[in-house]
Chains A and B, each alone.
Chain A
């Protein structure tokens, strides 16, 4: 851990305007340590300081910093993974070809645990020849990688790629949709503002998490600077439900402003991009977030629907009685878990099982979590049973339905793969 006096000297050096003196190696080591093993909140700040240290150093010291970063990064995705996400996220900023090659190699390796960080690292200072690779990354299975690819195209300033970006307005992930809309507006396509507006209408939840409200705040951050002050109505407040009386007039004023900004007629958006409001009561759910396999959000409702995704989820009709039978079949397994709710330790891999009591409507959660290294027997037998039952309750989706909604493609297969990547095999 860095001490206050050591950091005081270091910060004076980093924040000053004068070129850095030969203390760089010692400062660098302290910052590398802080970026790798310091408190979670400190790590990205320490990594960012290394970039500033490098930017303000003289050429010899700069070369030394880069060499040290090459040394700690090693020469393979496996060695790069060990330096942690904070350092990976800044390596692309040093203008060093070998570090950049290693980042691309790691981004191409689906087993590399910090792919979003590598993608953002590369996207911060992209070079024109990398355009095709960033275009390919627009189809990456992990949403933050797609967002980073959009950032790279924005930084490259190549509006001729707008058709590819426009496809992501229909992405199943709201972060990707918002980033695509934001970029298209930057590139002079105000019609994309309607995708940001649609997010303001969301009132959805994922169990007790207000996903709609979160989306409203994020979308409003992007939309409001473009609208300017609207004098004729109360300012829109993303904290208020869009269907509430205070919001109706504000939203009407926003719509009027979009027309003034030549956003055109409000389009009919595809289901995954449409605001949905509330969903039927969810009784069972799996929230899967894998740093290697991506994310899946599945819920089983009291009226026998399987909901896939957040926001406006895809709806799969299940045979009547399916969900009650699932609850009955897994009661013993859930009871066997006693009071323990967290298995493993925090990390980028997490599976969360949600079960809502029909009687009290309160939900119980069990979390299985780990870092980038697999942990044997991480998921306890009770959750293995629950996971198996839920997996078996995912029906085969007819090809015609899957073709209409990408969230339904190979649903059970993908869920099994993500579960396996996080908590290990279910069998």
Chain B
């Protein structure tokens, strides 16, 4: 399971598309959708939580669930090419990525991954909470973005 809040995601992205102001991206010829309502969230804030399975996350982190956010980070080094998801991490190294609170599971709705080594900014709807597979917690944070081409 990737994102339990797919419907709100679609609604929000649709609203973004309808209401957002359109700005030309520098040097790329792409069109960026700017949404002033997107909340800036630091990946350090998310990854610094003291997490234990079953322990409630801090209120200010839980409160981000379902919110439209803008967040900066790095594609994990293990990112595969040509898939629809990747992990966003605070540093582009393998340091500490094995802990479930240390990455954001990103799902791309349109298009596929191409690895980018530098810092990227993503905008999308954040989902917060434990997702388990086979009894293991496989993610705490999930972000659904429309496309990597919108990345700033």
Contact = CB atoms under 8 A, between A and B. Distances in A.
A4 interface: yes
A101 interface: no
A346 B119 contact: no
Interface of B: 27, 42, 44-45, 48, 50, 76-78, 90-95, 97-100, 103, 115-119, 134-139
B45 A367 contact: no
Interface in A76-111: 85-86
B138 A2 contact: no
B42 A239 contact: yes
Contacts of B98: 40-41, 43-44, 85-86
A132 to B, nearest CB: 29
Nearest to B99: A44
Contacts of A365: 92, 117-118
Nearest to B116: A341
Contact of B136 (A42, A209, A341, A366): A42
A342 interface: yes
Contacts of A42: 134, 136, 138
A348 B115 contact: no
Given A342-B77, A350-B93, A41 B139 contact: yes
Given A45-B137, A238-B45, 19 more contacts: A40-B78, A41-B97, A41-B136, A46-B136, A208-B118, A208-B119, A209-B119, A217-B42, A217-B48, A221-B50, A238-B44, A239-B42, A239-B45, A341-B117, A360-B27, A365-B92, A367-B77, A367-B92, A367-B117
A218 interface: yes
A148 B42 CA distance: 27
Given A209-B91, A346-B78, A352-B117, A45 B45 contact: no
B77 A369 contact: yes
A86 B96 CA distance: 12
**Interface majority SS (helix, strand, loop, mixed), chain A:** mixed
Nearest to B97: A40
Contacts of B77: 342, 346, 350, 367, 369
Main secondary structure of the interface of B (DSSP, over half): loop
Contact of A41 (B42, B100, B118): B100
Nearest to B105: A41
A214 interface: yes
Contacts of A10: 135
Give the interface residue-count category, chain A.
35 or more
Contacts of B137: 41, 45
Given A218-B48, A341-B116, A365-B118, A39 B135 contact: no
Contacts of B100: 41, 45
A126 to B, nearest CB: 22
A349 to B, nearest CB: 9
Given A4-B134, A8-B135, A346 B42 contact: no
Contacts of B92: 352, 365, 367
A366 B117 contact: yes
A374 interface: no
Given A42-B138, A46-B136, A213 B116 contact: no
A210 interface: yes
Interface of A: 2-4, 7-8, 10-11, 34, 39-46, 85-86, 208-210, 213-214, 216-218, 220-221, 238-239, 289, 341-342, 345-348, 350, 352, 360, 363-367, 369
B117 A210 contact: no
B95 A289 contact: yes
- Top 7 A-B pairs, shortest CB-CB distance: A346-B77, A217-B48, A7-B134, A365-B117, A11-B135, A346-B78, A208-B119
A411 to B, nearest CB: 21
A2 B118 contact: no
A240 B14 CA distance: 31
A209 B135 CA distance: 34
B48 to A, nearest CB: 4
Contacts of B99: 41, 44
Nearest to A225: B50
B136 A217 contact: no
Nearest to B135: A11
Contacts of A209: 90-91, 119
Contacts of A345: 78
Contacts of B115: 341-342
Contacts of B93: 289, 350, 352
Nearest to A239: B42
Contacts of B134: 2-4, 7, 42
Contacts of A342: 77, 115, 117
Contacts of B119: 208-209
Contacts of B78: 40, 345-346
